[in-house]
């Protein structure tokens, strides 16, 4: 079975700082990778996804993530965070076959301070 | 974009009550929906996969007689927590995927906060 590890439980950054959130997964086969964001009081929203092609994917709101197959990693980055990026970030993976559900990491809470 | 509607958003009830949560895909048909449970400050844990017209597939450790899932149409799945007890208090979230391959994103409802007294 797949599993997803997010290394940082809570990250606190000042506005304009750069962000990198770690995500590693364990699964030997082909996977699809996702990052979701959950703003306070809201439902999960898709930031970006990777399923094939260029391993560097760009998402909404200036976020990007890089798939490094050899490291089983899919880290999320943003060059300059804003206060409005304060949220919970979830990395998720599913097998690239059939109608398989997403398996989520524990999430990383990002707090951006002015 | 695709929207998943979940109702109710918050339920408070006495121990022993059965509670039904509805999940609807509003602008697309979903042959498969997923039910997750999220404890405070923890991740989403998959409970079951709901398949339209057939039995749900439950994850290990999830009691199928406790959490009844019905997926009667292509746009509606329901989760019934039977004889709920305080330990069932949690945040329940449904999800549906756009039709197509597994690389299609899952869309999530707003969740239902269940509090059992």
Q: Above pLDDT 70, what percent of chain B?
A: 98
Question: Which of A9, A44, A47, A103 should be substituted to probe chain B, the one whose Cβ sees the most B Cβ atoms within 10 Å?
Answer: A44
pLDDT score recorded for residue B66: 96
- pLDDT tens, residue by residue, B24-73: 999 888 888 999 999 877 789 999 999 888 889 999 999 999 999 999 88
pLDDT of residue B54: 86
Residue B2 confidence (pLDDT): 62
CB-based burial, A66-84: b 16+ in 10 Å, e otherwise: bbeeeebbbbbebeebeee
Tokens for A40, please give them.
Answer: 């306070």
Task: Write out the two tokens for B45.
Answer: 């844990």
Q: Which residues contact B80 (CB under 8 A, 6 or more apart)?
A: B18, B19, B20, B21, B67, B68, B69, B70
- Say how far apart CA B10 and CA B46 lie, in whole Å: 20
What phi-psi label fits residue B74: left (phi over 0), alpha (psi between -120 and 50 degrees) or beta?
alpha
Closest by CA position to A85, among listed A77, A97, A93, A75: A77
Task: Please list every residue in chain A whose beta carbon sits closer than 8 Å to the beta carbon of residue B110.
Answer: 42-43
Mean pLDDT of B91-99: 89
pLDDT of residue B56: 92
The pLDDT value given to residue A27: 85
Determine, for residues A101 and B106 on separate chains, whether the beta-carbon distance falls below 8 Å: yes
Q: Pick from A96, A101, A103 the residue to mutate for testing the B interface (most B CBs within 10 Å).
A: A101
Q: Using a CB-CB distance cutoff of 8 angstroms, which residues of chain B are in contact with residue A101?
A: 34, 46, 49, 95, 106
B114 near B92, Cβ under 8 Å?
Answer: yes
B93–A90 CB contact, under 8 Å:
no
Q: What is the pLDDT of residue A58?
A: 97
Residue B103 pLDDT exceeds 70: yes
**Would the pLDDT of B99 be above 80?**
no
Determine contact, residues B8/B19, Cβ cutoff 8 Å.
no
The pLDDT score that the predictor gives to residue B86 is 94
pLDDT of chain A, 114 residues: tens digit per residue? 779 999 889 999 999 999 999 999 998 788 999 999 999 888 899 999 999 999 999 999 999 999 999 999 999 999 999 999 999 999 999 988 777 899 999 999 999 998
Residues from chain A contacting residue B34 (CB–CB below 8 Å): 101-102
Cα B46 from Cα A43, distance rounded (Å): 16
Calculate how close chain A gets to B16, using CA atoms only, in Å. Answer: 28
Per-residue model confidence (pLDDT) at position B1: 57
Q: What is the pLDDT of residue B114?
A: 96
State how beta strands A10-14 and A31-38 pair.
Answer: unpaired
CB contacts < 8 Å between A and B, how many? 57
pLDDT of residue A99: 78
With CA atoms as reference, the chain B residue closest to A9 would be: B41
Alpha helix positions (H), A21-71: none
Three-state SS at B15? coil
Residue among B35, B44, B58, B69 with most chain A CBs within 10 A, to mutate = B44
């Amino acid at each position: 079975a797949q599993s997803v590890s997010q290394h940082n439980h809570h990250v606190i950054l000042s506005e304009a700082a750069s962000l990198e959130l770690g995500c590693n997964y364990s699964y030997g086969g082909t996977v699809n990778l996702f990052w979701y964001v959950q703003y306070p009081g809201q439902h999960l929203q898709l930031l970006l996804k990777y399923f094939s092609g260029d391993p560097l994917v760009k998402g909404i709101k200036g976020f990007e993530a890089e798939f490094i197959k050899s490291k089983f990693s899919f880290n999320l980055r943003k060059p300059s965070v804003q206060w409005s990026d304060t949220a919970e970030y979830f990395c998720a993976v599913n097998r690239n076959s059939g109608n398989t559900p997403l398996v989520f990491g524990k999430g990383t809470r990002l707090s951006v301070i002015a | 974009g695709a929207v998943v509607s979940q109702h109710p958003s918050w339920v408070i009830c006495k121990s022993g009550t059965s509670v039904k949560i509805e999940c609807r895909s509003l602008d697309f048909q979903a042959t498969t929906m997923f039910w997750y449970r999220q404890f405070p400050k923890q991740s989403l844990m998959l409970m079951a996969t709901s398949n339209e017209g057939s039995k749900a597939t439950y994850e290990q450790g999830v009691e199928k007689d406790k959490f009844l899932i019905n997926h009667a149409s292509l746009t509606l799945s329901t989760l019934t927590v039977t004889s709920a007890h305080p330990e069932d208090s949690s945040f329940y979230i449904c999800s549906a995927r756009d039709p197509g391959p597994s690389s299609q994103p899952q869309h999530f409802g707003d969740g239902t906060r269940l509090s059992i007294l």
